[in-house]
Amino acid sequence: MKKVKVLFSEKKIKNKVNKIAKLINKDFRNKKLVIVSVLSGSVVFCSDIIRKLKIDFEIDFIRVASYKGKKSFGKIRLLCDTSLNMKGKDVLLVEDICDTGKTLSYVKNLFFKKKVSSVKFCVLIDKKIKKCKDIKIDYCGFKINDDFVVGYGLDYNGKYRGLPYIGVI
């Protein structure tokens, strides 16, 4: 593995997770919350978030692949869909990182086709680049410039997901 420069320490992430979980506890009280974790990158973040929740929720998973072709935006392909009945539910989509917003936009449309009541986004890292117009991040951990980051679930060619901190290679 290449050397990784720490960007957000374990302690910083823990504090941020606590803050976000507090907001979710407040905002989703008495809602029909389904947390959907986008595989594989968000599992670490998501598992830390849910252990801080004091409200009822169900959990589900979705897997998508994004292809960066010659165009500036990648094409998204659904590899594994959710399995719970989503009709009338309040979905909180948990994602590791939002780059162009193409993935979130795709998943949002997919959930509205499943007749959900609402969709909100909880994203560990938001890149400060131009986004798809329909994407607003409701719960954001950290904002970064255009760096490529790894750790705490985020990978580079499948590696570095197990690092307890977020760093740059």
Q: Which residues are catalytic?
A: 99
- Residue 97 binding ligand IMP, by CB under 6 A: yes
CA-CA distance, 116 to 15, in Å (whole number)? 31
Site string for ligand IMP, 101-140 (x = CB under 6 A): xxx-------------------------------------
Using DSSP, state whether 23 is helix, strand or coil. Answer: helix
Residue 148 binding: pick among Mg ion, ligand IMP, none (C-beta 5-8 Å cut-off by kind): ligand IMP
Query: Which part of the chain contacts ligand IMP (CB under 6 A), choosing from 18-26, 43-51, 55-63, 100-108?
Result: 100-108
| Binding residue for ligand IMP, selected from 98, 119, 163, 166, defined by CB under 6 A | 98
Site string for Mg ion, 22-61 (x = CB under 5 A): -------------------x--------------------
What stretches of the chain adopt beta strand conformation (E)? 5-8, 33-39, 58-67, 75-80, 90-98, 118-127, 139-144, 149-150, 166-168
Residue 46 in contact with residue 94, Cβ under 8 Å? yes
R_g of the chain, CA atoms, integer Å: 15
Residue 66 CB, nearest distance to Mg ion (Å)? Answer: 8
CA-CA distance, 129 to 127, in Å (whole number)? 6
Residue 55 CB, nearest distance to Mg ion (Å)? Answer: 25
In the beta sheet, which residues pair with residue 167? 6, 150
Sites of contact with Mg ion (CB under 5 A)? 41
